[in-house]
Amino acid sequence: MALFLSLLLILLFHSTNADWPPSPGYWPSSKFRPMSFYNGFRNLWGPGHQSLDQNALTIWLDRTSGSGFKSVRPFRSGYFGVSVKVQPGYTAGVITAFYLSNNEAHPGFHDEVDIEFLGTTFGKPYTLQTNVYIRGSGDGKIIGREMKFHLWFDPTQDFHHYAIFWSPKEIIFLVDDVPIRRYPRKSAETFPLRPMWVYGSIWDASSWATEDGKYKADYKYQPFVAKFTNFKADGCSAYSPARCRPVSASPFRSGGLTRQQHRAMRWVQRYHMVYNYCRDPKRNHALTPECWS
C-alpha cells in the first residue's frame, strides 16, 4: 500500500510539472518597483471607458468605444511590465494589449513591440500574441514577427504579470518572470532603436484577431473588460544621459539569459507556442534574418 501511494504521488508530481514551466531561477519583476498609474501614465483615448480603483485600472470596450492609456515619458530601453486579468467567455474580435510604440512620433513609419491577448470563443483558450516590427507603414506592408502562445494557465481567473524587456541588443518577453521569447538584434534595419512610449488598450480588431477574422466581436456580450495593475516602467528614458546603462532581464549586467532561463523558455516554446513566423513557409524569410540561425 505504501509503495502504491508513493508511486501515485510521483505520477501526480510529474503530471503537474509537465503542465508548468521549470523555474527560471531569476525574477526580474522583483527588481523594479511598481508605480501608481498616474505617476507614469495618462489616459490616451476613451476616458469614459476607464476607471481607477486603488491603483487597479479597468478599461472596457462596448459598442460606442474602447479605451487606451500611454506613459508620460518615452524610453530608449528598459523593463516594462503590468499584471493583467482578461474577461472570460465570448471575447472574439477583441484585443487587450500592452505594448511599446512610437506611432505618434513617427506616423506611418513607426516601431512597435506588442503583447496582445487575442479574444476567443466559448471553450477555447486565449492566444497571447507577441510581435515586433520596425518602421511599419500600417498599410499592409508591415513585416510582422508574430509568435503566439496558449498559456499554461487561464488568464481570466487571476492577475498574471506580463513584461517586455528592451535593450539595444535584444527584446525579451516574459510571463510571470518566465521568458517566453527572445528577439535578438541582428541589424539596425531589423531592430527598434528609436525611443518608444508604453501603451495599453482594449479595442475591436474583428477583421483579424480571432482565427484570422472568422469570429467577430458580438456586442450582445458587452462590455468587454480588462484589468491592469502593478505597473512597472523603468530604464533609460529618452531624456536620460548617454551614460545611462540599460537594465537586464537576467543576473548578467551585460544582458542575455541564464541557462535556467533558457531552459524555461524552451519549455514554453515546446509545449505552448502555437505559431512561429520563422517556421511559416508562406513568409519571405529573406526579410527576417533573425530566423536564419
The three-state secondary structure class of 242 is coil
The three-state secondary structure class of 252 is coil
Strand-strand pairing, 110-118 and 50-53: unpaired
- Rg of the Cα atoms in the chain: 19
**233, 76 contact by CB (below 8 A):** no
Nearest alpha-carbon partner for 291 in 75, 99, 147, 96: 147
Number of C-beta neighbours around residue 262 at 10 A: 15
Number of C-beta neighbours around residue 192 at 10 A: 25
Q: Which helix (H) or strand (E) holds 60?
A: strand 56-61
Q: Which amino acid is at 35?
A: M
State yes or no: cis peptide before 223, omega within 30 of 0: yes
Residue in the block written with cell 501608481: 36
- State how far the Cα of 164 lies from the Cα of 196, in Å rounded to an integer: 12
Catalytic residue, candidates 116, 146, 170, 189: 116
Q: Verify whether residue 112 is a known catalytic residue.
A: yes
What one-character DSSP code corresponds to residue 272?
A: T
**250, 256 contact by CB (below 8 A):** yes
CA-to-CA separations, 265 to 33, 58, 82, 262, in angstroms, rounded: 24, 30, 20, 5
Q: Verify whether residue 116 is a known catalytic residue.
A: yes
- State how far the Cα of 181 lies from the Cα of 190, in Å rounded to an integer: 16
Q: Which helix (H) or strand (E) holds 13?
A: helix 2-18
User: Known catalytic residues?
Assistant: 112, 116
